[in-house]
Amino acid sequence: MAASSPPRAEAIVDLDALRHNVTLLADRAAASGAATMAVVKADGYGHGALPVARAALEAGATWLGSCSLAEALALRGAGISGPILSWLEVAGEDFAPAVAANVDLTASSVRELGHILGAGQRAGRTPRVHLKIDTGLSRNGCPAAEWPDLVEVAAKAQADGHAEIVAVWSHLACADEPGHPSVDLQAGRFQQAYEVSTAAGLKPLRHLANSAATLNRPDLHFDLVRVGIAMYGLNPLPHPEDLVPAMTFRSSVALTKRIEAGESVSYGQTWTAGRDTNLALVPVGYADGVPRLLSGRLSVWLAGRRRPVVGRVCMDQLVVDCEDDLVPVGEEVVLFGTGERGEPTATEWADTLGTIDYEIVTGMYRPRVTRTYRGQR
Ligand SMILES: *Cc1c(COP(=O)(O)O)cnc(C)c1O
């Protein structure tokens, strides 16, 4: 297909918006003396890890965070030289290439630390390790009962020159619910775990805050905050913040037609025209990230106003009711965007579906969706 063909489905990522959000977050962190890690896992929450990483570093982040070695190594391979933390081991994974590339690794158990130390020997380089304590999420992280053992092995490895213990860290379960009692409980457990590490002679950094805690719990910023969703402009908190959504998802009108009252639209004929009306066909569907569950509950921004999607969302197409308006073929159709003009947002989709906007934007990470960048430097 010619490179000049217009995309069927396009996710436009506004790097100026992203930089605006990172600057806001990094300023909040800096006010309490903390550095900022831009979390770019899952290909930058669907926005593209590398362009996001570069923009975030331009705007004040100094660390990058990723959930997989492959993603961390791809950033290194693209020439990014600052600190990168990777935090989830897949059983049987070889850490040696990551140690060789100076990617910081996470140990949640003595066993994982052992794998990292072994990789350090094979790579001929001292691994940089962050010890993760489970303070109440019960996901990864070391349970409190095993923490003293992990710290002891880590302290010995550092004393022997086999590891550099960079940080002690944890992750919050309910930071997006201000006042939730678990936040203070987790912070207390985090403090205890940190004290165990300093008593063993370690002098680690501390990091705990995600986006929500970065925005509403400055007392939990410690040395470094890890921001994801807010950097992409989606607000995890119930009150407003000055964030700008970075992703706009759009397509264009492929075909128009007029149908008569009584004619129905799409599979199952779930919608029937009550009057003669103009329809616009848009060549995106659930294969492009428009959830079929939004059928009958979705509107798009088309030719200056919101218009309802009628009938079922199909694999490759959906149909918009334009009533008596004549919209031209090729006209832009915004499925979600910043909301500034009145178009739907990813958050609105999520609320309709009963999920979170994280899942909506991350779901745009698919081969049929073309990503275009605005504000690239
Ligand atoms: C995803 C993730 C973050 C970022 O969370 P947001 O809510 O998107 O800010 C921070 N830390 C860890 C460990 C994560 O997995």
Ligand 1 atom closest to Cα of residue 211:
9
Q: Is 18 helix (H, G, I), strand (E, B) or coil?
A: helix
Asked whether residue 213 falls in the same domain as residue 286, the answer is no
Protein residue with least CA distance to atom 1, ligand 1 = 228
Query: Is 194 an annotated catalytic residue?
Result: no
Asked whether residue 159 falls in the same domain as residue 124, the answer is yes
Determine if ligand 1 sits within 6 Å of the CB of residue 171. Answer: yes
Asked whether residue 80 falls in the same domain as residue 166, the answer is yes
Average pLDDT over residues 136-158: 97
| Total domains, the chain | 2
Asked whether residue 302 falls in the same domain as residue 329, the answer is yes
CATH number of the domain that 355 lies in?
Answer: 2.40.37.10
Q: Is 2 part of a structural domain of the chain?
A: no
Contact 226, 83 (CB under 8 A): no
Asked whether residue 315 falls in the same domain as residue 203, the answer is no
pLDDT at 3: 53
Asked whether residue 188 falls in the same domain as residue 258, the answer is no
Average pLDDT over residues 302-307: 98
For helices 49-58 and 69-77, the axis angle rounded to 10 degrees is 60
Select which of 41, 45, 194, 365 is catalytic.
41
pLDDT at 134: 98
Q: Is 241 part of a structural domain of the chain?
A: no
**Domain of 176?**
15-232
Q: Is 105 part of a structural domain of the chain?
A: yes
Q: What is the DSSP code string of 195-240?
A: HHHHHTT---EEE---HHHHHH-GGG-TTEEEE-TTTTT---SSS-
Contact 245, 346 (CB under 8 A): yes
Contact 115, 89 (CB under 8 A): yes
Determine if ligand 1 sits within 6 Å of the CB of residue 227. Answer: yes
Asked whether residue 292 falls in the same domain as residue 211, the answer is no
> Of the residues 232, 263, 294, which one is the last residue of a structural domain?
232
Tell me the C-alpha distance between 49 and 166, whole Å.
Answer: 24
Contact 329, 300 (CB under 8 A): no
Task: Look at residue 1 and tell me whether its pLDDT is greater than 50.
Answer: no
Tokens 């403090």 — which residue?
A: 191
Q: Report CA-CA distances (Å) from 31 to 27, 320, 355.
A: 6, 48, 33
Q: Is 42 part of a structural domain of the chain?
A: yes
The CA 168 to ligand 1 mean position distance, Å, reads 16
Contact 134, 170 (CB under 8 A): yes
Asked whether residue 222 falls in the same domain as residue 253, the answer is no
Per-residue pLDDT band at 89 (split at 50, 70, 90): confident
Neighbours of 239 (CB within 10 A): 8
pLDDT digits (tens, 9 = 90+) for 202-234: 999 999 999 999 999 999 999 999 999 999 999
Determine if ligand 1 sits within 6 Å of the CB of residue 226. Answer: yes
Q: Is 8 part of a structural domain of the chain?
A: no
The CA 292 to ligand 1 mean position distance, Å, reads 28
Pocket test for ligand 1, best of 21, 28, 171 (most atoms within 8 A of CB): 171
CATH number of the domain that 222 lies in?
Answer: 3.20.20.10
Pocket test for ligand 1, best of 63, 130, 226 (most atoms within 8 A of CB): 226
Asked whether residue 197 falls in the same domain as residue 281, the answer is no
Determine if ligand 1 sits within 6 Å of the CB of residue 210. Answer: yes
The CA 228 to ligand 1 mean position distance, Å, reads 5
Query: Is 373 an annotated catalytic residue?
Result: no
Q: Is 202 part of a structural domain of the chain?
A: yes
Asked whether residue 95 falls in the same domain as residue 219, the answer is yes
Q: Is 311 part of a structural domain of the chain?
A: yes
Per-residue pLDDT band at 6 (split at 50, 70, 90): confident
Q: Report CA-CA distances (Å) from 3 to 6, 334, 349, 370.
A: 8, 22, 31, 11
Tell me the C-alpha distance between 312 and 290, whole Å.
Answer: 11
Bridge partners, residue 251, by sequence: 333
The CA 313 to ligand 1 mean position distance, Å, reads 32
Of 38-52, 85-99, 263-277, 298-312, which gets the smallest average pLDDT? 85-99
Strands 264-265 and 271-272: antiparallel
Asked whether residue 228 falls in the same domain as residue 251, the answer is no
Asked whether residue 136 falls in the same domain as residue 23, the answer is yes
Determine if ligand 1 sits within 6 Å of the CB of residue 135. Answer: no
> Of the residues 208, 232, 256, which one is the last residue of a structural domain?
232
Tokens 């008569």 — which residue?
A: 260
> Of the residues 232, 258, 287, which one is the last residue of a structural domain?
232
Q: Is 296 part of a structural domain of the chain?
A: yes
Select which of 194, 257, 267, 373 is catalytic.
267
Determine if ligand 1 sits within 6 Å of the CB of residue 228. Answer: yes
How confident is the prediction for the chain on average, in pLDDT? 97
Average pLDDT over residues 96-108: 98
H or E element at residue 255: strand 255-259
Task: Look at residue 2 and tell me whether its pLDDT is greater than 80.
Answer: no
